[in-house]
Structure formats: C-alpha cells, structure tokens
C-alpha cells in the first residue's frame, strides 16, 4: 500500500483499527444521513487537487456542529481509528487526503457565520465557511477578509488556518498568526478546547491557538475561527508592468515600497514562461508582452485621488529611470459615476489578477507538475529558478518561477510530460539543499503535508523537530489525527 511510486514517499500503514459495519452504524446514529460510504462518491475526496496523491478511505463524515466532531473523535480515539480532517481539499502537499483508509472528517457542512462586530471588525465563523463567501458577506458590511487566495472559491477558512495559508494580501495585512484572534478546536480524544477569543489583546498565559495554526490537522480539528478583518478599501488600483531583468524587479520593488508606502497591498512577480503557459493553456491575453519578467502591483487605500497620485508618481519614476519597460494601469476612479465604467474597471482588475492567480491552473495543463514553495532572501529568489533550469536542461518541459516577492516567497514549478522518478531525483534533495544554503524555508505557505515531511530538517533543527513530536505525542498520544503528515516518523 503506497501513495506515490517514489521510494522516498513509501510508508507502511500504522496499526490502526479497520473500519467495521458497527462503526458505520454508530456514526450514522451520531449524524443521520451525513455518513458517506458510496465508493463512487468518495473518489473525489480521496484524491488531492493536483491528482498527485490518492488514498482509499471507505467513509466520509459530515458533522454540522462541534459537538458532533467531539462525538466522532471520542469514538475514533477509543476504537483507535485514524482520521483525516478535510476542508476544501485545495492543498498542494498531500496533506488533505488520506494516505490509506483513514476516515475523512469533512467540514463542508460547518459553514455558518456565528457573529460579526462592525465596530471591531471581528468575525466569528465555523471552520467550513468558504473563503470567497466570507469575503462577499464582509464586503456587504464594508469589510474584507485579510486573506486572499487563488483557491478562494473552494477553500475553507478552517483549512486556511490549519495550513497557515499566506496568499496575496499578506504583504498588507500580515499572516494568519496575527489576524486569527481565537480558535475552537476538538482534540484527538474528543475534548473541545474553546479559545474562541474576540479580543485584540489577551496576554493570559500561553497563546495556545498558535499551536494549531499551521499544524495541518495533526494536533486537533479546528471547528471555529475568530478573525480580525480590515475595512474594505475605498480605492483599489492595479499596475501590470514589464521588467527587463530580475534585478530590475527587485529595484522596482524597493522604489515601489518607498513611494507607495502604506497603500501598497500586493507585489507579485512572474517570469515570461508563466505568461506563455497562461496564454497557451487558458487563452488569457496579457496587455503587456515581450518582457522577461512581469510585476503585478496593487494599492488599497481610502482616497482615490491620493492613491492615484502616488501611483502615477511611482510609475513615472519607474519608467523614466528604466526600471520598467512597459505597463498598464487599472485605476478605481470614483469621480466617474457611470455604472458601465465600474463594470469595465472591475473586469480589467479581474483580468489582471487572473494572469497571476491562474498560473497554477495553467501548469496543471502542461503535464505532471513538481511544485516547490520556498522562502528566500529576496535578492536570491530567482537564482534558484536559474540554477534549476541549468541543472535539469531538457529533462524538464518547463521550469518557471513566480510568487509573492514582497514576502520573499517563490513558487518554483517544474513540468514534465509525466511523472519520472529520475527527474524527481534530480530535483530533490537539491532544491532543499539549495534553499538551506541561503537560510530559506522549504515551505513558505503550503505546509509540509505528506510530500515534504521527511525534509523538515532542511529548515528546522533536530531539537525543534523533537519538540514538535513531543507536542504531537501529548495532544494525540495514539496518533490518530492526520497520520503520515507534517512530521517525520519519530522512530
């Protein structure tokens, strides 16, 4: 029983109990009509979004309340049944699907907004709320989520928190470790931990919620989230620019940060190969062509006149100094009242963001994808792409680099016609050794999941890994929560 063909991913099933008919009957009593055993229906939940890892779970449970999650985990703990918590199943490191026959515990029906305080901007909701739906709800109240992802239409906020997802707004609003104020979590033995605080400041003892943010469902199942939401910007502007070299991309960022300051909300970069794939596979057209690198800059502020003036000054400086060779701008001019104009501006914004957000989708159409999510000092960010291209030569179809340059986060993607063990050997552990050499992180925002757990030592010292394993053993002594993920075997 293996998940991937490569030896490096081969794992043995741990001695968990096997699911029985009496187990299924018990779960049916806990949540009548929300127990899935049909093999055909289970197929889509047994495979990840990339179609790269696949489990063989025979049961999926759909609780609606924290009490039901508690009842399920209490029973599973007593029976020694392994559990795979699953949100929107949009993860990219194999953390959201079973490895063997773990019971899938889906939060899909835990999608209720519990409360929202318009004065403080604090939202409390269940873990299964879809990120885009939450943002739509908040926009009606004049607020937004502090998190934005390409997978926003299907990812769950609980999964976002469990993986400490980064995304497109981190430059402006920070990480979930800062915006999440409290969590409700059910532990492996079924006990519920209510740390669902709605306070900006709470300095009473250890900050327990931080244990679960980024733990990828291995320490507990997040059932509800309290999160601080910023007010919706009154003016949003986008600039899509072409740069002649990565050195110019870096210099443009330095200038941009200095001149736009508090209104800068995103600084994304992508190489020309990314744009070629987006155009080829998704038929999207870029308004700027012929550049080796492209930059997407977003500003968010409270005054359109003020923001446009700052953006125009920056663009003038960037163009006259040769940092940028071409570009286009979509401004949000509130002085023009015609509704058709707002629709047009909205479409332009959407089109420009699609060029960046849909790169992952375009890559999946190019063949098998080897994905790497790396944090590096920004000056070294693209060197890894260059070195990988030189190393792989024609053995890879495409080697592309893009990501959140403002956060030092590179997405390195390598495509091939199909999976090849020899190609993986050429990539790993070279990519992790290269990253460690420059004191980077082998996982900037995707987590470790199933695919990266054995490489954690490239980013964390053995003492830190040992302490993580002790936390796991304390909170989940039988190891039933999302086994085979995040941490290497302690044996």
User: So what's the pLDDT on residue 340?
Assistant: 40
Q: What is the pLDDT of residues 270-306, one digit of tens each?
A: 999 999 999 999 998 888 999 999 999 999 998 888 9
Residue 106 forms beta bridges with which residues? Answer: 86
Number of H helices, E strands in the chain: 17, 16
Work out the pLDDT band at 8, boundaries 50, 70, 90: low
Per-residue confidence band for 197, with pLDDT thresholds at 50, 70 and 90 = confident
> Strand 221-228 and strand 180-186: pairing?
antiparallel
**pLDDT the model gives residue 378:** 94
152 token code pair = 């926003």
For 421, residues 6+ apart whose C-beta sits below 8 A from its C-beta are 5, 6
What was the pLDDT predicted at 352?
A: 87
Return the CATH number of 235-364, one of 3.40.50.12370, 3.30.70.2190, 3.40.50.360, 1.10.1200.10.
3.30.70.2190
Q: For the whole model, what pTM was predicted? A: 0.91
- pLDDT-derived band at 52 (thresholds 50, 70, 90) equals confident
Confidence of residue 351 (pLDDT cuts 50, 70, 90): confident
Tokens linked to 449: 């999941």
- Gap between the Cα atoms of 411 and 434, Å rounded: 14
415 in the Ramachandran plot: left (φ > 0), alpha (ψ -120 to 50) or beta?
beta
- Predicted confidence band at 51 (pLDDT cuts at 50, 70, 90)? confident
A 10 A CB-CB count for 237 gives 26
**Taking 70 as the threshold, does the pLDDT of residue 173 lie above it?**
yes
Q: How confident is the model at residue 250 (pLDDT cuts 50, 70, 90)?
A: very high
Residue 44 CB: number of other CB atoms within 10 A? 9
Q: Which residue has the higher pLDDT, 53 or 83?
A: 83
Task: Say whether 113-228 and 5-109 share the same fold.
Answer: no
Q: Is the pLDDT of residue 56 over 90?
A: yes
Does position 140 have pLDDT exceeding 90, yes or no?
A: yes
- CA-to-CA dists, residue 46 to 17, 43, 122, 164, 469, angstroms: 19, 5, 35, 22, 26
Please report the pLDDT score of residue 3 as a whole number: 41
CA dihedral 358→363→365→48, nearest 10 degrees, is -90
Q: What would the mean pLDDT of 67-83 be, rounded to a whole number?
A: 98
Largest CA distance in the chain: 74
Looking at every residue in the chain, the average pLDDT score rounds to 92
More confident residue, 132 or 330: 132
Q: Is the pLDDT score of 338 beyond 50?
A: no
- What's the pLDDT score for residue 341? 37
Q: Give the pLDDT confidence score for residue 329 in this predicted structure.
A: 87
Q: What is the number of other CB atoms lying within 10 angstroms of the CB of residue 301?
A: 21
Segment 420-447, tens digit of pLDDT: 999 999 999 999 999 999 999 999 999 9
Beta-strand runs (E) in 212-263 = 221-228, 235-243
Domain 113-228 indexed as CATH 3.30.465.10: yes
**Type and span of the H or E element at 29:** helix 21-30
Q: What is the C-alpha separation between 113 and 389, in angstroms, rounded?
A: 47
Report pLDDT for 336. Answer: 35
- Confidence at 5, pLDDT banded by 50, 70, 90: very low
DSSP string computed for 47-74: B-TTS--B---S-EE---SHHHHHHHHH
Of residues 140 and 332, more confidence is placed in 140
175 phi/psi in degrees, rounded to 5: -85, 170
Cβ atoms 289, 369 nearer than 8 A: no
Residue 130 DSSP code: B
Closest CA to 322 of 383, 382, 255, 240: 255
pLDDT category, 7, cuts 50, 70, 90? low
Quickly tell me which residue has 């015609």 as its tokens: 338
Boundaries of every domain in the chain: 5-109, 113-228, 235-364, 367-473
| Model confidence band, residue 369 (pLDDT cutoffs 50, 70, 90) | very high
Distance of CA 203 to the CA centre of its chain: 28
Give the confidence band of 328 by pLDDT, cuts at 50, 70, 90.
confident
Q: Which residues of 167-205 are buried (b: 16+ CB within 10 A; e: fewer)?
A: bbbbbbbebbeebbbbbbbbbbbbebbebbbbeeeeeee
With 90 as the cut, is the pLDDT of residue 200 above it?
no
The mean per-residue pLDDT over the stretch 10-37 comes to 96
Q: Is the pLDDT of residue 333 over 70?
A: no
pLDDT of residue 286: 87
Q: Is the pLDDT of residue 391 over 70?
A: yes
Write the pLDDT tens digit of every residue in 458-480.
999 999 999 999 999 999 999 99
Average pLDDT, integer, range 327-353: 60
CATH architecture of 367-473: 2-Layer Sandwich (3.30)
Residue 339 has pLDDT above 50, yes or no: no
Two structure tokens written together for 144: 């937004």
CATH code, residues 5-109: 3.30.43.10
């Amino acid at each position: 029983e293996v998940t991937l063909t490569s030896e490096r991913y081969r794992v043995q099933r741990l001695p968990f109990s096997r699911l029985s008919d009496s187990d299924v009957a018990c779960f049916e009593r806990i949540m009548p009509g929300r127990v899935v055993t049909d093999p055909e229906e289970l197929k889509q939940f047994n495979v990840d979004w990339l179609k790269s890892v696949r489990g063989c779970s025979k049961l999926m449970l759909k609780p609606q309340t924290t009490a039901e999650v508690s009842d399920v985990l209490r029973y599973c703990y007593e029976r020694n049944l392994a559990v795979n918590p699953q949100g929107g199943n949009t993860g990219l490191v194999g953390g959201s699907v079973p490895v063997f026959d773990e019971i899938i515990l889906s939060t899909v029906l835990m999608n209720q907004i519990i409360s929202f305080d318009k004065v403080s901007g604090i939202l409390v909701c269940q873990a299964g709320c879809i990120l885009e739906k939450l943002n739509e709800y908040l926009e009606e109240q004049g607020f937004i989520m502090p998190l934005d992802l390409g997978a926003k239409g299907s990812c769950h906020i609980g999964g976002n928190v469990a993986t400490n997802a980064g995304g497109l707004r981190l430059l402006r609003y920070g990480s979930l470790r800062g915006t999440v104020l409290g969590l409700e979590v059910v532990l492996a033995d079924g006990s519920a931990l209510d740390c669902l605080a709605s306070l900006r400041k709470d300095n009473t003892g250890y900050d327990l919620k931080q244990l679960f943010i980024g733990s990828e469902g291995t320490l507990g199942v997040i059932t509800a989230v309290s999160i601080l939401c910023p007010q919706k910007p009154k003016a949003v502007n986008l600039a899509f620019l072409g740069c002649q070299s990565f050195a110019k991309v870096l210099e443009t960022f330095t200038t941009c940060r200095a001149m736009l300051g508090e209104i800068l909300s995103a600084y994304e970069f992508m190489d020309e190969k990314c744009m070629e794939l987006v155009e080829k596979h998704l038929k999207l057209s870029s308004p700027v062509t012929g550049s080796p690198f492209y930059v997407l800059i977003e500003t968010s502020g409270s005054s359109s006149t003020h923001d446009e003036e700052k953006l125009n000054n920056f663009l003038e400086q960037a163009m006259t100094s040769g940092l940028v060779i071409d570009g286009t701008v979509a401004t949000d001019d509130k002085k023009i009242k015609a509704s058709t104009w707002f629709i047009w501006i909205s479409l332009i914004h959407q089109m420009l963001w699609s060029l960046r957000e849909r790169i992952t989708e375009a890559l999946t159409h190019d063949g098998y994808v080897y994905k790497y999510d790396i944090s590096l000092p920004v000056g070294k960010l693209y060197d890894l792409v260059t070195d990988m291209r030189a190393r792989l030569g024609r053995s890879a179809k495409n080697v592309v680099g893009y990501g959140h340059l403002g956060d030092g986060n590179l997405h390195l993607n390598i495509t091939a016609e199909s999976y090849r063990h020899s190609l993986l050997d050429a990539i790993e552990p070279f990519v992790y050794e290269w990253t460690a050499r420059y004191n980077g992180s082998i996982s900037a925002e995707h987590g470790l999941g199933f695919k990266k757990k054995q490489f954690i030592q490239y980013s964390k010292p053995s003492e830190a890994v040992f302490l993580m394993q002790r936390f796991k053993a304390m909170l989940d002594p039988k190891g039933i929560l999302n086994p085979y993920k995040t941490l290497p075997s302690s044996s």
